[in-house]
Amino acid sequence: MIAYNFHAASNGARGEANGGRWELAGPASGHPPAWSTMERSATLSAEQEIARRLRTYADASSARLLTAVYVSLKTYPCVVLSGSAGVGKAALAQHLAMALVGNAPGQFVRIGPSHWTLRSGQRDYYRTLHTRFGDQQLSEVLHEAQSAQGAGKLYVVLFDGLAPDELFHYLHDQLHLLPVNQDRPLTPPNVLFIVTFHQSANLSERDVQVLSGAPQINVTSYRYRSPRFPLPPVGLQRAMIRDAVHDVVVARDRLRVVFGSPQLPQLSPSPQIVSFLRWYGLTPAVTLDSDMWLFLANSFDRFGNGLFVDDPARNLQLAFDLRIVQRVMTQLNPTQTALRPELSRAVGC
């Protein structure tokens, strides 16, 4: 699954990425089949296929969790999975990567921590080598993603269980992804970054600042083994890259089309979320700012199908609650780590 040969002669994803747009994949004659409207929407929506793949090997709670990570990555290319060690954060990331890119060489890369260097009497020397190797992996991924042959493919980089200073090195110094600013990051649009972070009460002020604002999803338990998906269908990755919404005007237009009105349904946190936050004295920002518009729009595919649930209004409410909870996660100080799993359960994942 994890490969570092980015120039292998055989790459199963190369054909799928260059095979054209998902919606255009059809019979050899070039004429689209005579599907009904419902069949056409289900067949031609790349993201409905992604959602189906995420649900195939997961129960309802895990499927919602996977979809939340996916929608978060559509909105901003870096998401932090927090939680205790051993709850299955890396397995979740691998499951998502398998659904998106299959086992294509070089498209899923794990950059691990330097814990092993602690067992050596030459810790600093080996830690420096470890960091250089990670930098090389990252550089190769970014180079491949920006090349002509990689432009239509997705790449998933997993920073797995890194120490806070390692996260600072990669996410702040190298990629400028954290802390999040208002500008679109300079990383290639076809590279997604997942961070697994063992939540600790011993974070420095700098570490808290770097992680603040990052989309955070708490994982309380994810025990599923990563399934052996078949290769993604032709054009799936290219369609996902194209259909992700990064412009607020486009986001508003997509939602207006979904609901047939220039006004969205009235949005406010669900009663269980309000009750939970009031109990702990937490006050989230609930305004429809640019980030919220993008997240809500990305919770629908380009045809207006909800990625969490079929019902548009219910899908919108779920997405709104999830983003509110993600924002609250960033407000919690290190002494409030116990609230993270409770918040996750409050939104059903």
CB 157 within 8 A of CB 2: no
**Domain 12-240 listed as CATH 2.60.40.3500:** no
CB 105 within 8 A of CB 150: no
**pLDDT tens digits, residue range 176-205?**
888 776 667 789 999 999 999 876 656 677
Domain chopping of the chain, boundaries: 12-240, 245-346
Give the predicted TM-score (pTM) of the model. Answer: 0.83
158/229: higher pLDDT:
158
- Mean pLDDT computed over every residue of the chain: 79
In order, the DSSP letters of 268-298 are: ---HHHHHHHHHTT-----S--HHHHHHHHH
Query: What is the C-alpha separation between 99 and 146, in angstroms, rounded?
Result: 22
CB 168 within 8 A of CB 205: no
Secondary structure element (H or E) that encloses residue 146, with its range: helix 123-146
Q: Is the pLDDT of residue 282 over 70?
A: yes
**pLDDT tens digits, residue range 271-281?**
888 888 888 88
**pLDDT tens digits, residue range 138-173?**
999 999 999 999 988 999 999 998 888 888 889 988
